[in-house]
Structure formats: C-alpha cells, structure tokens
Amino acid sequence: MRIVERVRDPAWEVTQMKGRAVGALVLVALAALALWRFESHGAPSKAAAQAVQPSIPVTAGDVVARDVPVVVHAIGTVEAYNTVAVKSRVDGQIMNLDFTEGEEVKAKAPLVQIDPRPFEAALEQARAAKQKDEAQLAGAEADMARYSKLFGSGYQSRQSYDQQTALVSQLKAAIKGDQAQIDSAKLNLAYTDIRAPIGGRLGARLVDVGNVVQARDNTVLVTINQIQPIFVGFTVPESRLDAIRQAQAAAPLAVTALARDGDTVLGHGKLTFIDNAVDQASGTIALKALFANRQESLWPGKFVTVRLVLRTLHAVPTVPAQTVEEGPHGYFAYVIKRDLTVARRDVSVETIENGIAVISKGLSPGERVVVDGQYRLTNGARVRVVPARRTDRTS
C-alpha cells in the first residue's frame, strides 16, 4: 500500500488567510450598510412613535374668570344676646307661677307671685306710723306758735320755746323716716310680683308652687335668653387680625353661620366685636357677630361653622379645586393644547373656596385644563377628553 504524504506549502496558506480576512471585512461592511438603511428608512420617528401611543382618558374644564370672596373659616358658638337668671328679691312663699316652660315671653310679663300679705301689712304699718307722727307734728307746731307769742310778751320762757322748736324738728324728721319706710314697704310689695325683665325664651322651671324662697339663698326661679337678635362668638388666628381690622374699618364685615355639615345656611349677620387682646395661650383673637335670627335657626350653645368674608376678588382666573395638584416644588396643573397633548404648568393658588381654586399666576381665562385623571399624565402625554363621571347618590 502506498502512502502519499501532504507537503505544506507556505505560500498557499498565506493566500488562504488573506481570503478569509477579505470576507470578514465584506461581511462587516454589509452589516453596517444594513443598519444604516434600517435607521434611515425602517425605524419609526418620534412623532410616529407618539402617534401610536394610546391616548389617556381625562376630564377637562375651562379656566373661568369670576368674582370670588376671600373667606376666613372658623368654628363658633351661639350666644344669647341677653341672659337673665330670674330670682326673688324678697322672702316668701310662692303662690303662683304664671308661665310655661320654654315659651316666648315679652318684657314685663308676669312670671311668679310671692305671697304679698306680709308686705301689705308692713306697708299699712308704715303708713300708720306716718299718720301718727303727722298728728303729733300738727300739735307741736300749734304749741310752738302759741309759745312764740307768749315768749314775746314775757309769759313764756326762752327754754320752753326752744324745747318746743326742737320737738317740731324731731317730728318732721320722724315723718321723713316714716315716708322712707312706706317707700321700702311699697318696693318689697312690688317685688312679690316677679315679672320678666327682658323679652325672650324661657328655660326650665326650677321651683314649684308652695315652695318658700329666701333672697339670701340666691335661688334661680327660671332663666330667660333673648335670641332675637343673637350673637355668634368665634376665634381666628392672630395672623388674620390686621386684615380683619382693616376691612372692618371700611364697613361691617359679612358673616355667615352654617350647620356642622358646612352646607346648610343658618343665618347671615355682621361682625360687631373684635376683642382688645390676643389670647397668648392659643394665639387667637376672639370675635363676635350679630344675627337677626328671625327664624330662630340659631340657638344658644349651638356649635356652627362661621364664614367671615374679608373682601371679594373680581374677575380672577378660577378652576375646579381638583384641577390643581401639589408637588414637591408647589402647585401645578395640566393644560390641554390644541393637538390634545398636555403641558405641565406651575401655578400659584390665591385661595380655595367651595371647591373653586383661585389662580393668581400660571393660568389665563379661556385655557383648557385637566380636571380629573392627572395621576397617569406626564408632560407631553396625549389625552382623550371624556365626560365627567356622574356620582350616584342614594338616600
């Protein structure tokens, strides 16, 4: 068997290596050409990429110019315009109660009758004492007139005349004391007929017929609260004091009392009192407003929500309160552009009142903004405006 050995040719191997290197370079050039053609003609542009992005559903609203009041909110307590605790000023037994608990009474209306008989007797006794002293005075004055004639002719001594003059003066003083006793007895007798010192609403009856009351015991018979008009007292932070005083100097500030739900209006009044000192413990100032309360919707002791109107901003840009979001650098809102993309814009909020945000900087009337659905948005995102969601309310 014949074995043929292959002899390596160095020149041939060099030629083979050069051929493989040229092939590799050709492949690299083809790959680069393909990549360039893909980027230039095959890859979608940014606009095309945005065009295929799904739009985000949002609720839209307009920036509206309107007049908005600047309001200070507080919690207040209703206070009676006048409160009187009716008490007896004399000792005696209660003979009659001429009122019904909780009813409305007018001033001077009869309430309680104390037994008047002891005071009537005291009055008659004082009158009798005066009559007695008046009779004695008449006799003493007649004697003094006679003594004066006899003293001039020498038939009466100077001492007797002076004593008679002193007696007349003493009786005159006694009569004045008698008159004072009569006036006191009349006053005590009048105190047995207890009447309403003011008009208002009666409270609970605190005594019964037949009970004996004494003036020194300070017993309250019934309480009267005047509720037409009526006060509402409340406090505000001391930082608001200067603005309130300046506005009050121009005209009495309007105050609205609302129920605890913050929606039901109980009455409209005017600010009438600003305390003369700030409470250092709480950093607040006490205020008081007067309400006519013709419907008696305000009741003493009731807690209410108070809205104090400082001034009114005219024709200012406003949006629904939920339009404005608060970020790490302040408030912002999304403005809807004509191509239905959104732009995030920083805004300044003057105040938020009754679900309306007043914008002092950043938005202009007529612009369209995103009211609901902002949580999915980014700057430049495409949106689709959908109707606002309706909230079903069940009774």
Give the model confidence (pLDDT) of 16-61 as tens digits: 555 565 555 656 566 666 555 555 555 455 555 445 568 899 999 9
Same domain flag for 110 and 198: yes
Q: Is 22 inside a domain boundary? A: no
Who contacts 258 (Cβ-Cβ below 8 Å, separation ≥6)?
264, 265, 266, 304, 305, 306, 307
Check residue 388 and report its DSSP letter: P
Work out the end-to-end distance of the chain between its first and last CA atoms, rounded to an integer number of angstroms. Answer: 112
Q: Name the β-bridge partners of 62.
A: 368
- pLDDT tops 50 at residue 394: no
**In the numeric block, which tokens belong to residue 342?**
């959104």
Dihedral pair phi/psi, residue 23, rounded to 5°? -65, -40
Q: Which domain holds residue 95?
A: 81-114+192-223
Q: Is 325 inside a domain boundary? A: yes
* Predicted pLDDT of residue 376: 87
* Predicted pLDDT of residue 15: 53
For residue 275, name the pLDDT band (cuts at 50, 70, 90). Answer: very high
Q: Is 16 inside a domain boundary? A: no
Same domain flag for 306 and 320: no
Segment holding 4, helix H or strand E: none
CATH number for the domain harbouring residue 340: 2.40.420.20
What's the whole-number mean pLDDT along residues 69-75? 90
Same domain flag for 213 and 92: yes
Same domain flag for 327 and 338: yes
Same domain flag for 237 and 301: yes
Q: Encode 126-145: b = buried (16+ Cβ within 10 Å), e = exposed.
A: bbebbeebeebbeebeeebe
Peptide bond into 229 cis (omega under 30): yes
CB 99 within 8 A of CB 195: no
* Predicted pLDDT of residue 38: 52
CB 85 within 8 A of CB 220: yes
DSSP string, 346-379: E-EEEEEETTEEEEEES--TT-EEEEE-GGG--T
CATH number for the domain harbouring residue 200: 2.40.50.100
pLDDT tens readout for residues 318-361: 999 999 998 888 899 999 999 999 999 999 998 888 789 999 89
* Predicted pLDDT of residue 29: 62
**In the numeric block, which tokens belong to residue 138?**
């008449």
Q: Is 25 inside a domain boundary? A: no
Q: Is 253 inside a domain boundary? A: yes
- pLDDT tops 70 at residue 147: no
What's the whole-number mean pLDDT along residues 163-188? 90
Same domain flag for 240 and 309: yes
Same domain flag for 181 and 144: yes
CATH number for the domain harbouring residue 127: 1.10.287
* Predicted pLDDT of residue 351: 84
Q: Is 208 inside a domain boundary? A: yes
CB 115 within 8 A of CB 92: yes
Same domain flag for 284 and 242: yes
Percent of the chain, pLDDT > 70? 82
- pLDDT tops 60 at residue 76: yes
- pLDDT tops 50 at residue 190: yes
- Number of independent structural domains in the chain: 4
For residue 138, name the pLDDT band (cuts at 50, 70, 90). Answer: confident
Q: For the chain, what is the mean pLDDT? A: 85
Q: Encode 229-246: b = buried (16+ Cβ within 10 Å), e = exposed.
A: bbbbbbbbeeebbeebee
